[in-house]
Chains A and B, each alone.
Chain A
Amino acid sequence: MRVVGSLATKYAPPYSLILHYFLSGIVFDALGVLSLLLFQNRFTQPFYTFKYATIAHLFLLGFVLMVIFGALYQLIPVALEIPIFSFKIGYIQFYLFLTGILIFIHALLNAKFFALLPVGASLIYISILLFTLNFFISLKNLEVKNTTAKFIITAVVSLFIGGTLGLILSLNFVLGFYPKIVNLMLAHITFTLFGFVMMVVMGVSMVLFPMFTLAHKFNDKYIKAAFITSIVTIFIGGTLIAISDSLSTVILTLILAFLSLSLYITQITEIYRKRPRKTKDVGIDTMFISHTFLIAALILFVLSIFFKSLVFAAFTTFIGFLNTLIFGSLYKIVPFLTWFHKFSSLVGKRKVPMLTDMLPRKLPSYQIALFLLGITLYSIYQAFNLPRFISTISVAFMFVGVLLFLYITIYTLTFKLEE
């Protein structure tokens, strides 16, 4: 059953479900940025320390995955043209996920509660299973097999595998039954970060960028090539990394991931060049700008062969690329959701606002500028060994940037028509 033409009225997700995910995600983003203050060391330690694991999970689980889950409940019906099997599962998934993250992070931060790590991981895993189940039952109605559908299906399969590896890792930390912990971690990162997060980003971008820029006449050969490269990276690279001790396997997988993301960036550049809509728009502009951080991250990954810049590359990917991309996307999605919920039924009966009217006029640009200033300053601090107060100032900029974003989101959600 395709839902084109009837989706908006019949299959749109409950407004409150999406807000559960988005608002919690933004709060976790603030905590994730703030956690950088607790760990002000240089990015020179190996990536597999508990310190980095805490920041990464707070940010990736709490913010990135939380927002992605909310966005997918909204986007799957429009991008894949299928109804979601159950939104009730979406609510149950949310509360399990939230509880799981809180226990998981608490266990990572506090050695006395470390034994609770598998408890938090289990709750997160159950919530991932619920999402996977909900998604694949919904898929039985799938008729379209476009690029976005292929990316999202691959992403959810990867999430299931990566989540399973994550649960095994957490159990292994407490019970110690598998010695190749670093291998498991690398495979877990490959399946979750690249396999799920990046695949969702690539797939959803192929819907959002053309939709917002009105670009239709562009060559999509780059994203199709990126898909094939990504499949090899995730399933062959990820599996070999988990079982093999060979460094060349890791390097080969990184090269493939690099190639895949480079193809994706080329595709975004192609859309940017061919976009008919060139007027200033804080959401679209921010989404495009975020990709400069992905380019920077790829360069840092290459440099990590010579310098210890792997964690720096991860920071640039997470806060620079993903966080900025999500801000830009939410500047487009949140006004739409609120408009649809509050004003779509008033069309033709009274004057309704345009989506741009639902954002404060200048504040979003200042918010993005402040956040980007914070990221840039923090990167300079890391790159050039500047005094510690620079780190504090840059984190403060990023933190205020996130708080401003939360304020703007609430402004949009509570937007009212003038009497």
Chain B
Amino acid sequence: MKEKIIEALKGVIDPEIGFNVVDLGLIYDVEVSEDGIAKIQMTLSTPSCPLSGTIMDWVKSAAESVDGVKQAEIELVWNPPWSIEMASDEVKKSLGML
């Protein structure tokens, strides 16, 4: 179930950077209880992100679209603070880091 949710979250793309929230390393943790409640801990690339609320809504919708997930709860955290090191190599390469 956890893998399915992560796969669904790969459909949530930051329109400014052009990468999904999973590859960007914004998803810190995903837990699913037996009664189908998904708890997703995530962060944003910056606290000043103007799309903050919208991205969280997209993450919630994407998680709830997975069969067996009744409800998704999103927890936005700032610790540890996000940095580009948390992103996948593909993202780093695309941004010119590697």
Q: How far is the CB of B92 from chain A (nearest CB, A)?
A: 7
Interface assignment of A279: CB less than 8 Å from any CB of chain B: yes
CB-CB nearest in chain A for B76: A5
**Could you say which residues of chain A place their CB within 8 Å of the CB of B53?**
5-10
Partner of A344, one of B49, B54, B94, B97: B54
CB-CB nearest in chain A for B16: A355
Most buried by B among A214, A217, A354: A214
**Could you say which residues of chain A place their CB within 8 Å of the CB of B13?**
354
Taken together as a complex, chains A and B put the C-alpha atoms of A354 and B95 apart, in Å, by: 15
**Could you say which residues of chain B place their CB within 8 Å of the CB of A37?**
none
Taken together as a complex, chains A and B put the C-alpha atoms of A348 and B61 apart, in Å, by: 9
Taken together as a complex, chains A and B put the C-alpha atoms of A336 and B17 apart, in Å, by: 12
Taken together as a complex, chains A and B put the C-alpha atoms of A279 and B81 apart, in Å, by: 23
Taken together as a complex, chains A and B put the C-alpha atoms of A277 and B18 apart, in Å, by: 12
Interface residues of B in 1-45 (CB under 8 A from A): 11-13, 15-18, 45
A355 contacts B58, C-beta separation under 8 Å: no
Taken together as a complex, chains A and B put the C-alpha atoms of A340 and B50 apart, in Å, by: 10
Partner of B52, one of A4, A79, A214: A4
B54 contacts A348, C-beta separation under 8 Å: no
**Could you say which residues of chain B place their CB within 8 Å of the CB of A354?**
13, 15-16, 18
B54 contacts A336, C-beta separation under 8 Å: no
**Could you say which residues of chain A place their CB within 8 Å of the CB of B46?**
207, 210-211, 216
CB-CB nearest in chain A for B47: A4
Q: How far is the CB of A6 from chain B (nearest CB, A)?
A: 5
B58 contacts A348, C-beta separation under 8 Å: yes
If over half of B's interface residues share one DSSP class (helix, strand or loop), that class is named, otherwise mixed; here it is loop
Partner of B15, one of A79, A276, A355: A355
B54 contacts A8, C-beta separation under 8 Å: yes
Interface assignment of A347: CB less than 8 Å from any CB of chain B: yes
A9 contacts B57, C-beta separation under 8 Å: yes
Interface assignment of A352: CB less than 8 Å from any CB of chain B: yes
Taken together as a complex, chains A and B put the C-alpha atoms of A385 and B84 apart, in Å, by: 50
Taken together as a complex, chains A and B put the C-alpha atoms of A276 and B65 apart, in Å, by: 33
B95 contacts A216, C-beta separation under 8 Å: no
Q: How far is the CB of A132 from chain B (nearest CB, A)?
A: 23
**Could you say which residues of chain A place their CB within 8 Å of the CB of B66?**
none
**Could you say which residues of chain B place their CB within 8 Å of the CB of A212?**
16
Q: How far is the CB of B91 from chain A (nearest CB, A)?
A: 9
CB-CB nearest in chain B for A10: B53
Taken together as a complex, chains A and B put the C-alpha atoms of A12 and B62 apart, in Å, by: 23
Taken together as a complex, chains A and B put the C-alpha atoms of A157 and B18 apart, in Å, by: 39
Q: A276-B95, A336-B16, A354-B15 are in contact. Are A217 and B83 (CB under 8 A)?
A: yes
A78 contacts B58, C-beta separation under 8 Å: no
CB-CB nearest in chain B for A348: B61
Most buried by B among A4, A6, A352, A353: A4
**Could you say which residues of chain B place their CB within 8 Å of the CB of A207?**
46, 48
Q: A214-B45, A216-B82, A352-B15 are in contact. Are A279 and B94 (CB under 8 A)?
A: yes
Partner of A7, one of B50, B82, B83: B50
CB-CB nearest in chain A for B74: A5
Q: Mark A343-387, 1 if CB is under 8 A from B, else 0.
A: 010011000111110000000000000000000000000000000
CB-CB nearest in chain B for A276: B84
Taken together as a complex, chains A and B put the C-alpha atoms of A354 and B50 apart, in Å, by: 15
Interface assignment of A278: CB less than 8 Å from any CB of chain B: yes
**Could you say which residues of chain B place their CB within 8 Å of the CB of A7?**
50, 52-53
Q: How far is the CB of B47 from chain A (nearest CB, A)?
A: 6
Most buried by A among B53, B58, B82, B97: B53
B56 contacts A5, C-beta separation under 8 Å: yes
B51 contacts A340, C-beta separation under 8 Å: yes
**Could you say which residues of chain A place their CB within 8 Å of the CB of B17?**
214, 277
A277 contacts B96, C-beta separation under 8 Å: yes
Q: How far is the CB of A279 from chain B (nearest CB, A)?
A: 5
27 example contacts (A-B, Cβ-Cβ < 8 A) are as follows A4-B47, A5-B53, A5-B56, A5-B76, A6-B53, A8-B54, A10-B53, A78-B48, A210-B46, A211-B48, A211-B49, A214-B45, A214-B95, A216-B82, A276-B97, A277-B84, A277-B96, A279-B94, A336-B16, A340-B50, A340-B54, A344-B51, A347-B12, A347-B58, A348-B58, A352-B15, A354-B13
A interface residue numbers (CB < 8 A to B)? 4-10, 12, 74, 78-79, 81, 148, 207, 210-212, 214, 216-217, 276-279, 336, 339-340, 344, 347-348, 352-356
Q: Which A-B residue pairs are the 8 nearest by beta carbons? A: A278-B96, A276-B84, A8-B53, A8-B54, A6-B53, A78-B50, A277-B95, A279-B96
